[in-house]
Structures are given as structure tokens and as C-alpha cells.
Structure 1
């Protein structure tokens, strides 16, 4: 029955949206918007559970207000993960070329509180050519619902060149 639905020659690779891009197909300035996400109480609790970070600044509203914050402050890493390229189309677009995520640098610019909605984007800022591979440098920017930049940074990915797989 499966062959009647999918066809005899179907494989999971047929599910891809199109052919994979390689290092030489990319251009500086290419933008990848990531889905927005509101930082809910549930996300705070889940991140606290996963990280083991039990600082009261992340879960005790009364404590946070007593030290001058308007509400619970998001974990820094909770904010950083909102820039994960896997939430967007980049990894899918370079599936056959992607060797790995090789570096990260970031700066936390402003606090993120429970209830803030974060809008993240990655923009290719540099392409560093190597022999059979290349490094894709992406600038990461995360803004809140008011347009305030809360994080800036840089991601680095190692990709194959097309010539390294076809020749």
C-alpha cells in the first residue's frame, strides 16, 4: 500500500524543498528571519529545569522587583537560543553542504523579561573561502517587541563547496 501512496521510487530525500545550496551559492547580505517567540512563564520554567540555573532572578517576581527589575529576568542562554539557525530555513537550504556549527559570540545588550516577544534574524556578514570548504559568518540580532536590540552576536558555520562533493 505504501508504494501506491508514495510511489516505488520515493525516498525521504524527496521531501526536501529543493536542491541544497553550497558555500559558493551564498552571498553576503542574505537574511534569515526566525520565528518570533514570546517568553512565557512556561518557557522560563522549562529553561530553568533544563539548565539547572536556580538563581531567583529567573523565577521569583518579588525578589526581582526588590532589586529593581520590572519582572522575572530571562536566562541569558534562554535569550541566545532564540537565534538558533535551526528555527529557520538555513540548515535546510544547505543540508548537503553543512558540516557543522563551529563558533558563537554574543553580547547581551538589554534585559529580557517574562512576556517579552523576541524577533531574531541572522544575516550573512562574511564568507571566508577555504580550499574545499568555507566559513559562513552570520550576524545575529535579537530585538524585543519595542524594537530594542537585546542581543547581538555572530554565528559561524562550516560548509562544503560544491566542487568538493562533485569532483
Structure 2
């Protein structure tokens, strides 16, 4: 039994590790990390967690679209939460800068490999709006899914809602 309802997508930065628990608390009806459920032989058969952490560099949506589709198929998720955090390393470079550095260091042109708007973070509000829109407009995202963009303060552990995209029939 896997009662997953919410995907909490956030950065792999260890300082952001509390984001999934913060998302569970933010929505109030979510459970993370939950408890493992064992069968009569002691095998791990499920969990009581309703929040599924999805950890990607910078918490950027482009890296998570396939996982959202798969999670919907397997678990019937209801909500996707994109979390960007304070002092993120993705704010320390630009798409142009990392592309030029990669070409110089690795002698490979990656300029057409990624969507440039989803590589770095220049402005948290802009990046969260972009990522929520990317998820919403993906054919792999069901139209009934609620999508939120939240900012996580790594020092206080507090979340601030920046973007809310909730279909009219859900709101």
C-alpha cells in the first residue's frame, strides 16, 4: 500500500533536506517520512508517507517531468510542489556561463541540450513561475493536479507560497 498524494520536488543540496517534511506540515494533511508497513514475514510492503520526495539539482522541473508522469501512473498523485531554497547553488551561475565553462572544460557544446530558462535561478519568483508553468503545460501532467511553487528558507525551515496553480474544479 502506497498512499502517495503529493510530490515534493526540491534541490539535492543537503541544507534543503527538510523540505519534504516542511511540505507535509505546510499542507497539514500530509505525512512524511511516515512509517514502513511490513507484511507478516517482515518484508517492507509499503509506507504511510503521503509525500514523495523528488530530489533534483536546483529543484528544477525540467529534470522531474518524467517522474511526475510515472508517479501519476503508479500512485494517482493529486499535487506537485516545486520548492526552491535560499542560498541555492543554482543562483551562482547563468545558463550562458555554465554552457561556456562546459565547452572550455569538457570540450563539448551543451548549448542545445537543455532549456536555458530551466538551468539556473536568477530570480526565485520567476523560476518558480516558470517551473509551475512547465509542469502544468506538460502532456505528462494530468489537468486535475494542483501545482504549487514554494520558497524554502534553509535557516528557518519556513515555506512561503509564491505560485498556486489549482484547477477551478479543485479550488
TM over 0.5: no
Structure number with greater Rg is 1
Q: Kindly indicate whether structure 1 or structure 2 has the higher relative contact order, using CA contacts under 8 Å at least 6 residues apart.
A: 1
TM-score (norm 1): 0.24
